[in-house]
Structure 1
Amino acid sequence: MAKIKQNSPVLFFYNNSKKWLTKISKNESFHTHIGILKHSDAIGKEYGSKLITNKDKYVYLLEPTMYDYVMRIQHGTQIVYPKDIGYIIARAGIGDGQKILEIGTGSGSLTSFVASVVKPRGHVYTFDVDENFMKIAEKNIKKAGVSKYVTQHNMDLKTAKKMPLENMDVALIDLGDPWVVIPQVRQMLKGSGSVFAICPTMNQLEKLTMALVENEFTDIESTEHIIRNIEAREGKTRHSFQGIGHTTYLCFARKAFFGRSRASTKKSKPAEAKKSTSKPVKKSTKTIKTKKSTSKPVKKSTPKTSKKSLEK
């Protein structure tokens, strides 16, 4: 049985709209509209127990999941929601031991979730150019307890001359112009490696798809994921009036080899034939030497003939 201790993370759960994520500290109290919760009262209790406030309201002490961390992280930018993250992980087949490239750390929601899946043998390498967002992400990643499995880089891959990584299993892109980094992503992905890009608009989706085709990616798929909550109650179950609608479009693809270089080679066969005739450019060097050697006698033979002509 997992029991709550000093510094244990706890989700104080009152209802679906009123829940608070905190770390237990025996000298602290949590003040809410439903009353005061003393942290010390939670210490020693099993996860799932309940606490009574001074207003006779009760909350459950739940062990936080990665979903809870993601939904309650500090937002520096728009986050990637669990409904989209779940599909990304499933579709790309992300699992323990994989190396993940992320371009656009943002608030670190996707970073944290993916790191929790690839640990303990895998790692997430995340890149961003905004130091302020990176600091927010660092706090969120630390709060989620996955700092050990994440390396943050303050680097603009759009302008990088040399790619810092290779043989990545999956690339995740969360930029306003994801198509710009597709050539760089291709260099860092292994063969058949997956790429997922987050696109808030369809215009971005179109440009991205064109770039994926140009850079030899296949299995291209664009999707949108919407969750509709149901309020299930005896005799009056109905759809919820609240819910998360459109958040983003997702674009998935895999690195392939179209054989374009081979096709261009076939087309250029005549040119190669020319090269092959000129390939004896190396041989022709020898020929040139022989010519030089023959040309030397030419110089000698000229005086000989001239002597003969003089004798005549």
Structure 2
Amino acid sequence: MPPVTAIDAGLRRGPFQVGDRVQLTDPKGRMHTITLEAGKEFHTHRGFLRHNDLIGAPDGSTTTNTAGTQYLAIRPLLADYVMSMPRGAAVVYPKDAGQIVTMGDIFPGAVVVEAGVGSGALSMSLLRAVGESGRVLSFERRADFATIAQANARAFFGADHPAWTVTVGDLVESLPSVVGPASVDRVILDMLAPWECLGVVGEALLPGGVLICYVATATQLSRVAEAMRDHGGFTEPHAWESIVRDWHLEGLAVRPQHRMHGHTGFLITSRRLAPGVTPPLRKRRPGKGYVTDLDGEAEWDAEDIGERVPSDKRVRKVARSMGETSRRLP
């Protein structure tokens, strides 16, 4: 086998080791994620199992607790980790992160700008895509969110990813001092008012570069689409959403699950035009989006669009727990 050189490859292969995250699935499909520690035990209301029984076992093993309940033990995938990791802000769901990586054409070695970081879910997918030869430049207004995101990524990759830089500050103010004109391949904006950033983003993107915005509401979607058209330096925007429905598979009982992953957000994408190029005129231009009290100069906040805002107390608690976890890891 060739030597392991990628930053997280050693954590994804071979027998379970101390410090590995392991996903345990019981016969009813309930999942629990534990971090292996020598001498520690995992307890439920029906018995417990010893971490030592898993340390050294191959990935994809089964183990039985003291009550005779059998568990499947397997390393969690990135999608599993994202859904169970500590959160400060809401995460970009794997179904949307996959769309961003694919439709944004995030390639190895790319220079990618991301704003904001949230809890780091999308950042980890971007880092996986650009590899150690690329760069992900993330911007986050809140220092506590940035701390949680960095701790989550560190726990997943096993170390600070060499391609990742996190800047605490406003994108409009900070981006020009971090990158030069026409030096960025891709920009992903996951923020309340992405239309406010189109000027600096347009300066930073290479001709042909891709801009993707992730927004929660139709009002935001309309506003950013019109701003892209008004800017004049982007191609006609394209918008969509992804809806995922699982299926129940048991013998001949094959049917859609009763619950599904419905609307999480809209994605809208556009390409940067070359300097001085005017986009072709549309044969039929849609009418302007309607104006609300939030349009104009008023600043948007998360509560305006119905987003659940984590309390400062909860964020401090998550950040504190992440710091304690980091100190326990080897």
1:194 to 183, 188, 210: 210
- Report Cα offsets for 1:104-128 as digits up to 9, x if no partner: 1111100111112211211211001
Mapped pair 1:147 → 2:160: yes
Structure 1: give runs of 5+ residues left out of the alignment: 262-312
Identical-residue share of aligned pairs (%): 26
**How high is the TM-score relative to the length of structure 1?**
0.79
1:178 to 169, 181, 194: 194
Question: Higher relative contact order by CA 8 Å / sep ≥ 6: 1 or 2?
Answer: 2
Cα distance in 1 between the residues matched to 2:125 and 2:191? 18
5 Å-filtered alignment, 1:1-312, equals 2-14=14-26, 18-145=30-157, 147-148=160-161, 149-160=163-174, 162-166=176-180, 167-215=183-231, 216-257=233-274, 259=276
Cα distance in 1 between the residues matched to 2:27 and 2:85? 19
**CA-atom RMSD in angstroms:** 1.9
How many residue pairs were aligned? 261
Asked whether the 8 Å contact 2:176–2:204 carries over to 1, the reply is no
Q: CA deviation at 1:17?
A: 5.3
Alpha-carbon spacing, 1:132–1:61, altered in 2? closer, same or farther (3 Å): same
Structure 2: give runs of 5+ residues left out of the alignment: 1-12, 279-330
Q: CA deviation at 1:232?
A: 1.0
Cα distance in 1 between the residues matched to 2:37 and 2:54? 10
Residue identity matched to 1:209: A
Asked whether the 8 Å contact 1:27–1:40 carries over to 2, the reply is yes
Cα distance in 1 between the residues matched to 2:193 and 2:77? 32
Q: CA deviation at 1:250?
A: 0.4
Residue identity matched to 2:160: S
Q: CA deviation at 1:235?
A: 2.4
Q: Which has the larger radius of gyration?
A: 1
Q: CA deviation at 1:18?
A: 1.8
Alpha-carbon spacing, 1:127–1:17, altered in 2? closer, same or farther (3 Å): farther
Q: CA deviation at 1:70?
A: 1.1
Alpha-carbon spacing, 1:33–1:163, altered in 2? closer, same or farther (3 Å): same
Instruction: Say which is worse superposed, 4-13 or 92-101, in terms of deviation.
Output: 4-13
- Report Cα offsets for 1:162-197 as digits up to 9, x if no partner: 342131111110111011011111111111111111
Alpha-carbon spacing, 1:90–1:161, altered in 2? closer, same or farther (3 Å): closer
**How high is the TM-score relative to the length of structure 2?**
0.74
Cα distance in 1 between the residues matched to 2:228 and 2:32? 42
Question: Tell me, what secondary structure is at the counterpart of 2:26?
Answer: strand
